[in-house]
Amino acid sequence: MAHTKAQGAVKGNRDSISKRLGVKIFGGESIAAGNIIVRQKGTKFHSGPNTTLGRDYTITSTANGTVNFKMQRGKKFVEVKTA
């Protein structure tokens, strides 16, 4: 009698690498131009003033300032307010 199960039972028992998605810089925090604000899959957050939306839906800052999150017509927007 075998002491361990057949290897087929263990083959699918792996976990995928996490993608480190989410908000990186929160509302009210200061940010420099080019920094990542949100990493996401799809447009959970939309790009507002002084931000850009990348091909992989990453929102980055295009200006120095403070991050602000707001809702408009049921959608979440991220903007950077400059001083």
Q: Is 51 helix (H, G, I), strand (E, B) or coil?
A: strand
For residue 48, what are the contacts with CB-CB under 8 A and spacing of at least 6?
68, 70, 77, 78, 79, 80
Other C-beta atoms lying within 10 Å of the C-beta of residue 31: 20
Express each pLDDT in 4-62 by its tens digit. 666 656 667 788 899 999 999 999 999 999 999 999 999 999 999 999 999 999 999 99
pLDDT of res. 72: 96
pLDDT of res. 45: 97
- Does pLDDT of 78 surpass 70? yes
pLDDT of res. 39: 98
CA distance 23 to 36: 9
